[in-house]
A and B are shown apart, each in its own frame.
Chain A
């Protein structure tokens, strides 16, 4: 997956504007993920007028321009993690190369869509929080500690708190805003909006809930009568893992007459779930089989994917190629071997040639 990521950066997105228009609504994320390229390059186009951003988002973007690289990197990290979690599955979180899209496209309200929205909003929250700690963003907030009115500086009174809160709020304001807007150009689907918002929130909540406190004692002689604790964010990898579990246990919902989400009884398990946790992923539609390229449902199909012969898992050829069979090629892979260690940034390696057989789905 990794080499593909470098390819994305070189993709010029003007080319596919027309072709992509129909897919835009479901894949505005890809726009977001490309923001950093737009900012870094000498792009004539004003950043915040990228297609795909809703009017509200464009406004936020204009106000917080320095946050946009963070949003973009956060989204890219999330997509990368998503692809890592779903390697070898029929749906592997990737998009068709020719569309120039970075992220996956979801036209249907499936489990996969739920996962994607959750991990993307978590990724943005994560990256914003990280940039705050790097001091790259000037607007990260201080604590709202109550202080006497005549004290001028609340920082010297009560210190600065955790910046996950800031990332959380920013991510909510920037990402969820599009689900609240009634854009005349898009056909508004209330159920889908609610579902997206819920899954976005789940991703952020999971990130927040899985912070780990670390503490330092600094009393007399290092005794613990004085102790300061701070929260450590989980890595995107951990978030991905947790979300993957949530994906397996995602809950089916439907929109009821009052316009709220309602849980549906699960056919497979007898017990009826009455309540979904805020960290649970929810979905409405059944997933397609992801076997064939289908523009309508936004699936890419598994044609051309590498599969594993004889494996019974998801990555096995029988499952991955949907019974269409596979071609076998001989491939020579050059890999690094006999590497010698030289601290953080340098390894001296020899190159070895390995001849292997690769199976690719028809």
Chain B
């Protein structure tokens, strides 16, 4: 007797109970996010105050609120020299609120800084499209115990960004404001210090400007102010997220161990599909592992990169698995159970994910050393970045096209099989075959459902953002529950893989006696007069019980 997968040997009742249970768990995941967790991230906006520093930053002194000689109106300020290093834009993060000095906590996981440049229309200081903006940024930090203004250097950097601004024609008069695109300023992979201080200078080299107007800061127009927006993950979300991961890891590990034992106890070598599921489970276990706990106690800036890599790995394996899953159910294809036969399609997955890997390593990798680095800031860098994203986008599209094609083929094959066979056989057998195919389809549908859920979640998020326009943005159901989508999607991922591990494990009921290889299996089927095609693996095993 052929070794069937668990799914074929489960009664409908058991299957129903399992699905119902999983649905309840899925809903629980969703509700955990919706009820217990705040929104995944929040922001704090800083309007940078402008201060005067006679030393032009040469003294290495930090400029902060307490020693700031504030400049009221930038345009009314007369600097003593023309390089304008005298003007310092200052922001201390975070703010004081409700009379309490707020602190950043390691629970925030990451800190992102985005810069808004306010440019006013002026006939004298013309903004020229795509002007280069060069900032001298100094970022300092302060420990909780140190004195009030004892700032230590975190990083100093010269940042060059391109300023993209636009203005409607009718606003083109003095006092009109440009609408400028925000600039990425910094990205910290961990939030290890409670306070940060940012000093920004916008130096101008008059000679260079005369020599070449395209030099940095010569064409940025009448700058009226800088606004900094800092984004971090919410501590509450981190907590909920970490606990879900911590809870899921042992479950996945146990399931994986069980599955591994099952296929190891087989007398035959594991099939390609079985191995693919094993790797999928393994990558899920890696994804789930709550490595983030470390960042709560130690300085661990590499975390952002690591979690990107883990997610990338999981998606690469998942996409490969789908391909193999579909391919292995193509009954008429004889080249199955061999990874080599998939190399053409796998190539696209590998290309796509390695392009993204390169992008990620460059962007986040360099940011480990210089938080102010951005691939997008230099023309070559942004070309590479565009290239990487373009390649991976193209690969993904081709991949999905191919996957769809395969799924349709599998679907058709199954339909043909069924119509060809069912009516020739006894009622009892017909019911059984129907049931098996039904279950197979059910799993396929589950995959589709998962995909649909992801897409719906995406659109709901978009809708939630559309609600931001409304007056009472905070009260919106959808804006408040994006965390629910995160935990929901996470739960779905886990349930999906766990279900695969459980359902596609070789069945306990049959595997002990199973010694046959695929070829023998095929022979056996050919012996069966009702079978004209060579079949094996999933489809074989589906149809197999019908010969009992």
A contact residues vs B (CB 8 Å cutoff): 130, 132-136, 138-143, 145-148, 151, 153, 155-161, 163, 205, 208-209, 213-216, 218, 220-222, 226-232, 235, 237, 339, 341-347
B contact residues vs A (CB 8 Å cutoff): 36, 38-49, 65, 74-75, 77-79, 82, 84, 87, 91-92, 94-99, 102-103, 105, 107-108, 112, 114, 116, 123-126, 175-177, 182, 202, 204, 206, 209, 217-218, 220, 222-223, 227, 229, 231-232, 234-236, 307-308, 311-312, 356, 359-360, 363, 389, 461, 465, 468-469, 471, 473-474
**Inter-chain contact A139/B98, CB cutoff 8 Å:** yes
**Inter-chain contact B46/A216, CB cutoff 8 Å:** no
Q: How far is the CA of A46 from the CA of B419 in the complex (A)?
A: 95
**Inter-chain contact B47/A134, CB cutoff 8 Å:** yes
User: Residue of A at shortest CB range from B470?
Assistant: A209
Q: Which residues of A contact B49 (CB under 8 A)?
A: 134-136
**Inter-chain contact B112/A213, CB cutoff 8 Å:** no
Q: Which of B75, B123, B177, B231 has the most CB of A within 10 A?
A: B231
- Contact of A140 with B95 at beta-carbon distance under 8 Å, contacts A218-B112, A218-B231, A345-B79 already known: yes
Select which of B97, B231, B469 is within 8 A of A155 by beta carbon.
B97
**Inter-chain contact B308/A221, CB cutoff 8 Å:** yes
Q: Which residues of B contact A139 (CB under 8 A)?
A: 97-99
Q: How far is the CA of A231 from the CA of B38 in the complex (A)?
A: 19
**Inter-chain contact A135/B65, CB cutoff 8 Å:** yes
Q: Which residues of B contact A134 (CB under 8 A)?
A: 46-49
How near does chain A come to B386, taking the closest CB pair, in angstroms?
12
Q: Which residues of B contact A214 (CB under 8 A)?
A: 116, 182, 229
- Contact of A341 with B235 at beta-carbon distance under 8 Å, contacts A156-B108, A221-B359, A346-B79 already known: no
Sample of 15 A–B contacts (CB below 8 Å): A130-B47, A139-B98, A140-B97, A141-B97, A155-B94, A156-B105, A156-B107, A156-B108, A158-B39, A159-B44, A160-B94, A215-B465, A220-B311, A221-B312, A235-B177
Q: Which residues of A contact B103 (CB under 8 A)?
A: 156
A-B contact count (CB 8 A): 166
Q: Which of B49, B204, B311, B473 has the most CB of A within 10 A?
A: B473
- Contact of A345 with B78 at beta-carbon distance under 8 Å, contacts A138-B96, A156-B235 already known: yes
**Inter-chain contact A133/B77, CB cutoff 8 Å:** no
Q: How far is the CA of A159 from the CA of B77 in the complex (A)?
A: 36
**Inter-chain contact A161/B471, CB cutoff 8 Å:** no
- Contact of A213 with B465 at beta-carbon distance under 8 Å, contacts A147-B38, A158-B236 already known: yes
Given contacts A134-B48, A214-B229, 11 further A-B contacts (CB under 8 A): A140-B97, A141-B97, A145-B236, A163-B45, A209-B471, A216-B112, A218-B41, A221-B312, A221-B363, A231-B468, A346-B82
**Inter-chain contact B126/A341, CB cutoff 8 Å:** yes
How near does chain A come to B396, taking the closest CB pair, in angstroms?
12
Q: Which residues of B contact A158 (CB under 8 A)?
A: 38-39, 42, 234-236
How near does chain A come to B471, taking the closest CB pair, in angstroms?
6
- Contact of A216 with B114 at beta-carbon distance under 8 Å, contacts A157-B235, A229-B468 already known: yes
**Inter-chain contact A157/B65, CB cutoff 8 Å:** no
- Contact of A143 with B42 at beta-carbon distance under 8 Å, contacts A135-B96, A208-B471, A216-B182 already known: yes
**Inter-chain contact B97/A345, CB cutoff 8 Å:** no
User: Residue of A at shortest CB range from B359?
Assistant: A221
Q: Which residues of A contact B124 (CB under 8 A)?
A: 339, 341, 347
Q: Which residues of B contact A347 (CB under 8 A)?
A: 124-125
How near does chain B come to A334, taking the closest CB pair, in angstroms?
17
**Inter-chain contact B175/A213, CB cutoff 8 Å:** no
- Contact of A161 with B41 at beta-carbon distance under 8 Å, contacts A138-B99, A220-B360, A346-B79 already known: no
User: Residue of A at shortest CB range from B41?
Assistant: A228
**Inter-chain contact A222/B42, CB cutoff 8 Å:** no
Q: How far is the CA of A343 from the CA of B217 in the complex (A)?
A: 8
Q: Which residues of B contact A344 (CB under 8 A)?
A: 74-75, 84, 87, 125, 202, 222-223
User: Residue of B at shortest CB range from A238?
Assistant: B177
How near does chain A come to B430, taking the closest CB pair, in angstroms?
45
Select which of B40, B123, B204, B473 is within 8 A of A226 by beta carbon.
B40
Q: How far is the CA of A151 from the CA of B38 in the complex (A)?
A: 13
Q: Which residues of B contact A151 (CB under 8 A)?
A: 236
**Inter-chain contact B218/A343, CB cutoff 8 Å:** yes
Select which of B46, B79, B236 is within 8 A of A133 by beta carbon.
B46
Select which of B98, B112, B465 is within 8 A of A229 by beta carbon.
B465
Q: How far is the CA of A228 from the CA of B97 in the complex (A)?
A: 21
Q: Which residues of A contact B91 (CB under 8 A)?
A: 135
Q: How far is the CA of A43 from the CA of B185 in the complex (A)?
A: 44
Q: How far is the CA of A71 from the CA of B547 in the complex (A)?
A: 87
Q: Which residues of A contact B234 (CB under 8 A)?
A: 156-159
**Inter-chain contact B125/A341, CB cutoff 8 Å:** yes
**Inter-chain contact A133/B82, CB cutoff 8 Å:** no
Q: Which residues of A contact B44 (CB under 8 A)?
A: 159-160
Q: How far is the CA of A94 from the CA of B123 in the complex (A)?
A: 27
How near does chain A come to B69, taking the closest CB pair, in angstroms?
15
User: Residue of B at shortest CB range from A141?
Assistant: B98
Q: How far is the CA of A132 from the CA of B74 in the complex (A)?
A: 19
Select which of A130, A156, A228 is within 8 A of B43 by beta carbon.
A228
How near does chain A come to B20, taking the closest CB pair, in angstroms?
29
How near does chain B come to A233, taking the closest CB pair, in angstroms?
10
- Contact of A216 with B473 at beta-carbon distance under 8 Å, contacts A151-B236, A158-B42, A230-B43 already known: no
How near does chain A come to B118, taking the closest CB pair, in angstroms?
9
Select which of A142, A342, A346 is within 8 A of B97 by beta carbon.
A142
Q: Which residues of B contact A226 (CB under 8 A)?
A: 40-41
**Inter-chain contact A133/B47, CB cutoff 8 Å:** yes
Q: How far is the CA of A141 from the CA of B98 in the complex (A)?
A: 5
Q: How far is the CA of A90 from the CA of B108 in the complex (A)?
A: 57
